[in-house]
């Protein structure tokens, strides 16, 4: 019999987490007025919630501006969350083997969680300059190869909601900003088993990504090879796709997906 979790919900605690969620989505510190608007509450309650988060060490308050920001203490939670991911433990040895074959590239792994494309792992190229991804970084779903491969099999209604909620922001001249064109791109990725980003997210950067599947056959992660054109030509990124698919097949097998045998 399912448990009705709503009756065990503590509203004040829930609101504190809402503040953390809200603050994590902002580009800078937040004010009491921001929290009032975001949570539809009064200034007294907003102050008390922020004070509780400050006292617990999860937010800091600037004594001069009175603004609040998420503290470094949250990094402990992020680190624990990343370390608890079984797929990271399985994937990393295979990513290292892949990187050994393409040392001029970055090798990446991401998951689709709660409507977001999240980077979990990355092995940087030996070459410079490096791009700026870090574990836990969010990627746009519509113009990154990992985002495309992770969303290419979503039901259309769910995809439409993501397009509506997230929007199709333009990052470069190559970014796809038309919903119809994006759906055609995702259909191509679904058919070919590989998604591509050719200067769509970062100018001069190319990436190919393939899916990793779980026991039930659903996509549970994506792995990719990416590089600036100064490090690897587009043709080299294309040529890496068979190795990329082979790596994803082996990881999928280790995650319980046995429909396609690994040689």
Provide the pLDDT confidence category of residue 137 given band limits of 50, 70 and 90: confident
Calculate mean pLDDT across residues 157-184: 95
pLDDT reading at 247 higher than 50: yes
Q: What proportions of the chain, in percent to the nearest 5, are helix, strand and coil?
A: 45, 20, 35
The SS3 call for residue 225 is: strand
CA angle, residues 209, 215, 221, in degrees to nearest 5: 25
Calculate mean pLDDT across residues 223-244: 95
The pLDDT value given to residue 21: 85
Q: Nearest Cα to 221, choosing from 191, 184, 257, 259?
A: 257
pLDDT reading at 114 higher than 60: yes
CA distance 26 to 69: 10
The pLDDT value given to residue 259: 66
Q: Nearest Cα to 120, choosing from 197, 212, 202?
A: 212
Provide the pLDDT confidence category of residue 5 given band limits of 50, 70 and 90: very low
Provide the pLDDT confidence category of residue 261 given band limits of 50, 70 and 90: very low
Helix (H) or strand (E) segment spanning residue 6: none
For the question of whether the overall pTM of this predicted structure is more than 0.75, the answer is no
Do 244 and 208 meet the contact criterion of CB atoms below 8 Å apart? Answer: yes
Q: How many CA atoms lie within 13 A of 32 on its CB side?
A: 15
CA distance 41 to 134: 35
187-215 confidence digits (pLDDT tens) = 999 999 999 999 999 999 999 999 999 88
* Residue in the block written with tokens 């050994």: 100
């Amino acid at each position: 019999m399912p448990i009705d979790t709503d009756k065990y919900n503590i509203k004040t605690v829930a609101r504190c987490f809402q503040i953390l969620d809200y603050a994590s989505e902002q580009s800078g510190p937040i004010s009491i007025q921001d929290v009032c608007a975001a949570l539809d509450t009064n200034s007294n309650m907003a102050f008390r919630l922020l004070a509780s988060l400050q006292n617990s060490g999860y937010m800091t308050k600037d004594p001069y501006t009175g603004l609040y920001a998420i503290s470094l203490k949250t990094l402990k939670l992020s680190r624990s969350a990343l370390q608890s991911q079984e797929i990271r433990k399985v994937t990393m040895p295979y990513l290292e083997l892949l990187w050994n074959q393409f040392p001029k590239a970055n090798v990446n792994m991401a998951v689709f969680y709660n409507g977001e494309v999240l980077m979990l792992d990355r092995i940087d190229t030996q070459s410079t300059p490096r791009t700026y991804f870090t574990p836990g970084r969010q990627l746009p779903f519509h113009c990154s190869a990992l985002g495309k491969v992770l969303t290419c099999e979503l039901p259309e209604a769910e995809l439409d909601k993501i397009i509506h909620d997230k929007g199709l922001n333009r990052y470069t001249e190559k970014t796809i900003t038309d919903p119809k064109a994006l759906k055609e791109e995702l259909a191509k990725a679904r058919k070919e088993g590989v998604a591509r980003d050719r200067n769509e997210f970062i100018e001069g950067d190319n990436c190919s990504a393939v899916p990793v599947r779980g026991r039930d056959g659903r996509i549970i992660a994506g792995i990719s090879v990416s590089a600036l054109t100064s490090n690897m030509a587009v043709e080299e990124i294309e040529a890496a796709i068979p190795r990329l698919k082979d790596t994803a097949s082996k990881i999928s097998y280790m995650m319980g997906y046995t429909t396609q045998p690994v040689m």
